[in-house]
Amino acid sequence: GKYRVISTKSMPGTRWINLLIQNDCRLEICTEKKTILSVEDIIALIGDKCDGVIGQLTEDWGEELFSALSRAGGKAFSNMAVGYNNVNVDAANKYGVAVGNTPGVLTETTAELAASLSLAAARRIVEADEFMRAGLYDGWLPHLFVGNLLKGQTVGVIGAGRIGSAYARMMVEGFKMNLIYFDLYQSTRLEKFVTGMFLPTYGAFLKANGETPVTWKRASSMDEVLQEADIISLHPVLDKTTYHLVNKERLAKMKKEAILINCSRGPVIDEAALVEHLKENPLFRVGLDVFEDEPYMKPGLAELKNAIVVPHIASASKWTREGMATLAALNVLGKIKGYPVWFDPNRVEPFLNENAQPPA
Ligand code: GLV
Ligand code: GLV
């Protein structure tokens, strides 16, 4: 191959590998055993000549790496992730490196994990499983692991992009929840589905069967969602405007028995404040896929029965991970071969800046 392409990790499937090697690339997949590569590790991998890199969200792609890649003749970098808070896009621009991400292929898989955590938290699945395995079950009881009925409750979605909208659809259609969402922009993606495709027919169906139709609205503030929703799922991008979006004050606004789900990025929640809130409010529950300081959890979180914690697996279905790998390879190959790179920044405007204009 003419072009040297590096993948900092082995990735699922073979399609991405074939795409690269059948298109003039010599692919090197890093075999380093440690999970998180340092900047120095990656600089060593890049070496003197490297045309493109497929990297991971655990890596810090800033000045140092983009200048090293540029010195090695590199023109392309793709994150194998939709989120790109680990990538300094300005630095990449400065060194003439195109940046790609992998939106779209993980939308449904990620929303399904958020839905799974919602159900698991509402029905206390993990606690109940631990109870069984500990040999504590000594007979059915009316009080045993009583949780929440989702039907008729309100689901709150904060950040109504692809993933938030897919999650909203699942919870409304699947469990007949009422919906309230907050986003800086009116989400035509979400509203087209809810009003255009789904609610008129579904609402008529529910009415015809003597059931209460589900309701939905766009909230005028995030606090409105926090106050009204029984389950709140966070789907914003992480940037400086969404850092600690959910803090002590906002936690205090939520219902005492609310459920909070986070499959976006850990720093969107002030995790230390969350631990305190969970301790003080045993009926408040969370389902977390992401953490403020991965791979660590804030002290105390692991001991709490009202928290479900999983290791950043929201996009972890076989189909999606193979799709992400393929998109990442296409991004790098596209730039090298002169095709357009699929970088969809989704929404880089400040999330909470009321004066920001929607992307064109
Ligand atoms: C995973 O967290 C992603 O951003 O794709
Ligand atoms: C965010 O990137 C989304 O796909 O919703």
For the chain, which domains are there? Answer: 3-105+316-337 (3.40.50.720), 107-309 (3.40.50.720)
d(CA 177, CA 156): 10
Nearest CA to ligand 1 atom 3: 81
Nearest CA to ligand 1 atom 4: 83
Q: What are phi and psi of 211, to 5 degrees?
A: -105, 155
| One-letter identity of residue 61 | W
Burial class (CB within 10 angstroms; exposed 0-12, middle 13-18, buried 19+) of 359 = exposed
Q: Give every CB contact of residue 205 below 8 A, 6+ residues apart in sequence.
A: none
Both tokens of 142, joined, read 């009316």
Q: Give 3-state DSSP helix, strand, coil % of the chain, rounded to 5.
A: 40, 15, 45
pLDDT tens across the length of the chain (360 residues): 899 999 999 999 999 999 999 999 999 999 999 999 999 999 999 999 999 999 999 999 999 999 999 999 999 999 999 999 999 989 998 999 988 888 888 999 999 999 999 999 999 999 999 999 999 999 999 999 999 999 999 999 999 998 999 999 999 989 989 999 999 888 888 887 776 656 667 777 777 888 877 888 999 999 999 999 999 999 999 999 999 999 999 999 999 999 999 999 999 999 999 999 999 999 999 999 999 999 999 999 999 999 999 999 999 999 999 999 998 998 888 888 876 555 444 332 333 333 434 433
Distance 264 CA to ligand 2 centre (A): 9
Our CA angle for 179, 310, 307, nearest 5°, is 65
Give the pairing type, strands 154-158 and 178-182. Answer: parallel
> Which of 106, 109, 237 to mutate for ligand 2's pocket (most ligand atoms within 8 Å of CB)?
237
Ligand 1 atom showing the smallest separation from residue 102 Cα: 5
Ligand 2 atom showing the smallest separation from residue 164 Cα: 5
Q: Cα–chain-centroid distance for residue 339?
A: 28
Tokens 């409750």 belong to residue: 153
